């Protein structure tokens, strides 16, 4: 089994965990503080924040606020009185304030009252809180993370499901708008309500993983989770932490991996959050040319500060350690890497060499991936990186950033541009559909048709297709068939699998009623069959990241807008021929070279009537003749349906 080239294990990131101390004693050892200040403590969630003491009504609090004049805990347990429970600074100059509160129990709300060096008093949520009030309220909640996990079989075998040579088909989901109660369309479903329906649907459709848009706590629902304030708390909109654990557990029980969108690229400037945390720019850069994100109106983490890197890496580890998450899709990697991202000349500060690369951020990303893979070699980190930064998905010990996978934004852009064109003019833009093959193996790519492509006026995938309604559906089926047979893992945003007409909105459920109509149910069945055939055919997934697994048959027939290519497994036992007719013209007797004689079975045809097509095809099988074509000794004469993808395999 192919596995990821794991980077060397970094310096150990935590000392043996401190046992429960007598009331009033710190959970932080001197070694913990040393690692924190070095940026190498990656399990800070066990040490900082609020820790309830088992067997007693006591909570221990620890907060990093090095520039504060005074800190106290206010909450339900002391009637929100700032003078009741002051915290004391440690004597080691770490900037950590500590203390214990008697009478504290799970579920009680709290905040930190911070007096700044200038005498201002501000109330802040706990950066390490495990639970928060449901927005728009902003207090943190005392909580424990006890849960009886039932996913041991999945956890023992997930290395196979997450391997680079495995079939990976990801269904991207926004929990609040995937499905809602028809009787209460304004109300979101809970984690537990969603668990059974989502698992059953994803399993039936053949997706191997779900990717959840950020469930980390966020004050503004319209940010879709990408403006995070709670890096250790699942949003309370859908339930308690144990409810989210149940969702993950149930998906695992159904054989489905869970990937989380995780946002270390920026954070909002809400007054209860991380911004100006102790009266100073603690988590963000003070200089707005480095610390303010002009595109998202948010704050940028100071990756050069050791404690900030430890905070972020501890957050990443937290979701893997405590919630059994199988992968992290890291948002906005390009905005992390480039100092001039979304900035004009004069609005950014060059690095020490005068360049635009954020050197501190590069160090952070490498440390992040080393820490994740050292602790969990059977998960994947996935970079949403939109530039040509080299070796994003290569190990750090060869100079890479250390991610397991990278979104192929170039493929997405070119493919959608091509399919959005009138077929009459596609012959003049043939390179848009063929170019991706020339760089397909430079990274470990995921092919994303994500939420970003169906928002902000872009319309739905179906709505972006040209032609009348029949041609729109045919084009969409063709697009999806091309995607599933192209090298790379797959990601499709919810609604695209049944051809939703309208643009996605986070305020409403998907239009599930459309599945009652034949053309929509046909697209849905097509995606289901694509997934199941994909998982059955090693040729289509086992060499996604090796050039040996792909071979052009013909990439030059621009005048007919036809492409043909082979996919091959490493052992040569699985071979697939893919032919795409990208015009609405049926082509009969179209000869394509193949590597062997005998019968070739038509295992996929997007124009089949069961998918809403015209029913044109090759009656399920075609015989290869010893007639050379495309440099091969045998060939098949095919009927190419209009706007369709064919996939054939030798018997």
For 513-530, what is the mean pLDDT?
98
DSSP letter (8 states) at residue 267: B
In sequence order, what DSSP letters do the residues of 412-444 get, joined into one string? HHHHHHHHTS-GGGGGGGTHHHHGGGGTTTSS-
Q: Which two tokens stand for residue 329?
A: 């899709």
- Whether 172 has a pLDDT exceeding 80, the answer reads yes
CB 170 within 8 A of CB 209: yes
CB 387 within 8 A of CB 337: yes
**CA 436 – CA 411 distance, rounded (Å):** 6
- Write the pLDDT tens digit of every residue in 543-589: 999 999 999 999 999 999 999 999 999 998 899 999 999 999 999 99
Q: Which pLDDT does position 572 carry in this prediction?
A: 86
In sequence order, what DSSP letters do the residues of 25-80 get, joined into one string? --S--HHHHHHHHHT----GGGTSEEEEPTTSSEEEEEEE-TT-SEEEEEEGGGTT
For 125-145, what is the mean pLDDT?
97
Q: Which pLDDT does position 56 carry in this prediction?
A: 87
- Whether 39 has a pLDDT exceeding 80, the answer reads yes
To the query of whether residue 384 is one of the catalytic residues in this protein, the response is yes
Residues 6+ apart with CB under 8 A from 216: 225, 228, 230, 231, 233, 234, 235, 260, 262, 263
Looking at the chain, the whole-number percentage of residues with pLDDT higher than 90 is 94
Maximum C-alpha span of the chain: 91
- Whether 13 has a pLDDT exceeding 70, the answer reads no
Q: Scan for tokens 């991380």, then name that residue.
A: 274
Pairing of strands 96-102, 109-115: unpaired
**DSSP reduced 3-state for 552:** strand
CB 367 within 8 A of CB 313: yes
Q: Which pLDDT does position 182 carry in this prediction?
A: 85
Q: Angle 35-36-42 (CA atoms, 0-180°, nearest 5)?
A: 85
Q: Which pLDDT does position 412 carry in this prediction?
A: 97
Q: Which pLDDT does position 564 carry in this prediction?
A: 98
**CA 224 – CA 47 distance, rounded (Å):** 30
The residue annotated as part of the active site, out of 13, 46, 276, 331, is 331
Per-residue burial over 181-211, b if 16 or more Cβ lie within 10 Å, else e, is: eeeeeeebbbbbbbbeebbebbeebbbbbbb
Pairing of strands 380-383, 327-330: parallel
Q: Which pLDDT does position 26 carry in this prediction?
A: 85
**CA 268 – CA 257 distance, rounded (Å):** 29
- Rounded to the nearest integer, the mean pLDDT of the chain is 94
Of 593, 619, 615, the C-alpha closest to 606 is: 615
Helix (H) or strand (E) holding 241: helix 241-253
Q: Which pLDDT does position 210 carry in this prediction?
A: 98
For 296-309, what is the mean pLDDT?
96
Q: Angle 128-124-331 (CA atoms, 0-180°, nearest 5)?
A: 55
CB 581 within 8 A of CB 643: yes
Q: Which two tokens stand for residue 381?
A: 């980190």
Looking at the chain, the whole-number percentage of residues with pLDDT higher than 70 is 96
- Residue 600, beta-bridge partner list: 622, 650
DSSP letter (8 states) at residue 504: P
Higher-confidence residue of 79 and 1: namely: 79
**CA 239 – CA 108 distance, rounded (Å):** 16
- Write the pLDDT tens digit of every residue in 205-263: 999 999 999 999 999 999 999 999 999 999 999 999 999 999 999 999 999 999 999 99
**CA 205 – CA 497 distance, rounded (Å):** 9
- Whether 273 has a pLDDT exceeding 50, the answer reads yes
Q: Which pLDDT does position 1 carry in this prediction?
A: 37
- Write the pLDDT tens digit of every residue in 310-332: 999 999 999 999 999 999 999 99
Neighbours of 564 (CB within 10 A): 23
Helix-, strand-, coil-residue percentages of the chain, each rounded to 5: 30, 25, 45
**CA 4 – CA 70 distance, rounded (Å):** 48
For 343-350, what is the mean pLDDT?
94
- Whether 14 has a pLDDT exceeding 50, the answer reads no
The residue annotated as part of the active site, out of 261, 384, 544, 602, is 384
To the query of whether residue 497 is one of the catalytic residues in this protein, the response is no
Q: Which pLDDT does position 55 carry in this prediction?
A: 85
Q: Which pLDDT does position 2 carry in this prediction?
A: 39
CB 261 within 8 A of CB 225: yes
Q: Angle 178-184-186 (CA atoms, 0-180°, nearest 5)?
A: 65
Of 108, 177, 221, the C-alpha closest to 451 is: 177
Confidence of residue 3 (pLDDT cuts 50, 70, 90): very low
First-last CA distance in the chain? 25
- Residue 327, beta-bridge partner list: 259, 380
Confidence of residue 8 (pLDDT cuts 50, 70, 90): very low
From the number of C-beta atoms within 10 Å of its C-beta (0-12, 13-18, 19+), residue 176 rates as: buried
**CA 290 – CA 358 distance, rounded (Å):** 10
Q: Which pLDDT does position 19 carry in this prediction?
A: 30
In sequence order, what DSSP letters do the residues of 586-634 get, joined into one string? -EEEEEEEESS-EEEEEEEETTSGGGTS---S-TTEEEEBS--BTTBSE
**CA 452 – CA 449 distance, rounded (Å):** 8
Q: Name the phi and psi angles at 550, rounded to 5.
A: -135, 140
Of 2, 4, 6, 1, the C-alpha closest to 396 is: 6
CB 501 within 8 A of CB 485: no
- Write the pLDDT tens digit of every residue in 446-467: 999 999 999 999 999 999 999 9
Of 381, 138, 330, the C-alpha closest to 226 is: 330
Q: Which pLDDT does position 20 carry in this prediction?
A: 30
């Amino acid at each position: 089994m192919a596995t990821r080239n794991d980077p060397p294990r970094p310096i150990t990131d935590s000392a043996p965990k401190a046992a429960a101390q007598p009331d009033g004693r710190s959970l932080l050892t001197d070694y913990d503080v040393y690692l924190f200040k070095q940026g190498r403590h990656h399990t800070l969630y066990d040490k900082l924040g609020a820790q309830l003491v088992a067997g007693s009504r006591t909570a221990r609090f620890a907060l990093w606020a090095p520039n504060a004049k005074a800190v106290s805990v206010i909450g339900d347990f002391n009637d929100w009185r700032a003078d009741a429970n002051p915290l004391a600074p440690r004597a080691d100059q770490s900037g950590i304030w500590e203390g214990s509160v008697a009478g504290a129990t799970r579920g009680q709300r709290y905040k930190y009252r911070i007096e700044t060096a200038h005498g201002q008093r501000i109330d802040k949520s706990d950066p390490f809180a495990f639970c928060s009030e449901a927005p728009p309220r902003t207090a943190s909640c005392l909580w424990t993370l006890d849960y009886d996990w039932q996913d041991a079989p999945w956890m023992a075998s997930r290395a196979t499901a997450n391997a680079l040579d495995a079939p990976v088909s990801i269904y991207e989901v926004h929990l609040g708008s995937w499905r809602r109660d028809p009787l209460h369309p304004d109300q979101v479903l809970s984690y537990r309500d969603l668990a059974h329906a989502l698992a059953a649907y994803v399993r039936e459709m053949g997706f191997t993983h779900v990717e959840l848009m950020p469930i980390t706590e966020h004050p503004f629902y319209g940010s879709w989770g990408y403006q995070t304030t709670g890096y250790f708390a699942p949003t309370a909109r859908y339930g308690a932490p144990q409810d989210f654990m149940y969702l993950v557990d149930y998906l695992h029980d159904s054989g489905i991996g869970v990937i989380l969108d995780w946002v270390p690229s920026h954070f909002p400037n809400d007054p209860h959050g991380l911004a100006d945390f102790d009266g100073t720019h603690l988590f963000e850069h003070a200089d707005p040319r480095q610390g303010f994100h002009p595109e998202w109106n948010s704050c940028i983490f100071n990756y050069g500060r050791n404690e900030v890197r430890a905070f972020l890496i501890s957050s990443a580890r937290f979701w893997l350690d405590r919630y059994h998450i199988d992968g992290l899709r890291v948002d906005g990697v390009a905005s992390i890497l480039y100092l001039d991202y979304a900035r004009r000349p004069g609005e950014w500060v060059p690095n020490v060499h005068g360049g635009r690369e954020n050197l501190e951020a590069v160090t952070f990303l490498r440390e992040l991936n080393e820490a994740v893979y050292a602790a969990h070699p059977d998960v994947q980190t996935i970079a949403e990186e939109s530039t040509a930064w080299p070796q994003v998905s290569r190990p750090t010990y060869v100079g890479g950033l250390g991610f397991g996978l990278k979104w192929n934004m170039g493929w997405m852009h070119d493919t959608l541009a091509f399919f959005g064109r009138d077929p009459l003019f596609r012959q003049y833009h043939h390179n848009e559909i063929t170019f991706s093959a020339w760089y397909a193996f430079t990274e470990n790519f995921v092919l994303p048709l994500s939420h970003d492509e169906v928002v902000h006026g872009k319309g739905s995938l179906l709505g972006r297709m040209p032609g009348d309604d029949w041609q729109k559906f045919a084009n969409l089926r063709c697009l999806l068939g091309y995607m599933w047979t192209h090298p790379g893992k797959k990601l499709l945003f919810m609604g695209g699998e049944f051809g939703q007409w309208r643009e996605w909105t986070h305020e409403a459920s998907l239009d599930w009623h459309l599945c009652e109509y034949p053309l929509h149910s046909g697209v849905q069945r097509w995606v289901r069959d694509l997934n199941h055939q994909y998982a059955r055919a090693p040729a289509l997934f086992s060499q996604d990241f090796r050039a040996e697994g792909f071979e052009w048959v013909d990439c030059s027939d621009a005048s007919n807008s036809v492409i043909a290519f082979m996919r091959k497994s490493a052992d040569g036992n699985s071979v697939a021929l893919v032919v795409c007719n990208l015009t609405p013209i049926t082509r009969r007797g179209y000869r394509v070279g193949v590597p062997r004689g005998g019968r070739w079975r038509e295992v996929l045809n997007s124009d089949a009537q069961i998918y809403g097509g015209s029913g044109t095809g090759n009656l399920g099988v075609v015989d290869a003749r010893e007639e050379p074509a495309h440099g091969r000794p045998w060939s098949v004469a095919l009927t190419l349906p209009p706007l369709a993808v064919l996939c054939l395999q030798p018997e």
